[in-house]
Amino acid sequence: MNVTRLNQAPEYVAPNHFDMQCLRLQGREAGPAEQLWMGMSILQPGGHTSLEGSPMEKHYMVLQGELTLVSELNGIETREVLRTWDSCRFAPGEQRQIVNHTTHEARILLAMPFAPPIA
């Protein structure tokens, strides 16, 4: 068993993440993991990511607050507002953006594999 206390979770810097604090909860520098890692991002009002794709599948769950998630796949843009306990999956290669349009802090859980799927 590997336990990570939130107040001891290692902070990491994610490129193109703005006004956000990113914490590693499991995997990588937070401890052993074989298939995936898990993190939590704390988005300040106006906090966001850029609209980018990733070769990895990503799963998100809003833990607190309200976030707008934007996706673009095959030239089609989709926007969804997620609130506490709502979740979302982004496919490998799907561009995604997360934005906190509110005046309150928001928290989101992220789970993703270490490597893209083998073709």
**In the predicted model, what is the mean pLDDT of residues 85-95?**
95
* 1 in a structural domain: no
> What's the structural domain count of the chain?
1
**In the predicted model, what is the mean pLDDT of residues 2-27?**
96
Indicate if the pLDDT at residue 119 is higher than 80.
no
Q: What percentage of the chain has pLDDT greater than the value 70?
A: 99
Per the CB < 8 A criterion, the answer to whether 26 and 33 are in contact is: yes
**In the predicted model, what is the mean pLDDT of residues 92-101?**
95
**What's the CATH number where 64 sits?**
2.60.120.10
* 50 in a structural domain: yes
47: Cβ contacts below 8 Å, ≥ 6 apart:
17, 18, 19, 20, 99, 100, 106
Domain of 26? 8-113
52: Cβ contacts below 8 Å, ≥ 6 apart:
16, 95, 96, 97
Per the CB < 8 A criterion, the answer to whether 28 and 60 are in contact is: no
Indicate if the pLDDT at residue 41 is higher than 80.
yes
* 2 in a structural domain: no
Task: Please state the separation of Cα 74 from the chain's center in Å.
Answer: 22
* 3 in a structural domain: no
pTM as predicted: 0.91
How long a stretch of residues is the chain? 119
pLDDT tens figures, 49-82? 999 999 999 999 999 999 999 999 888 899 999 9
**In the predicted model, what is the mean pLDDT of residues 90-94?**
92
* 119 in a structural domain: no
Amino acid identity of residue 22, one-letter, is C
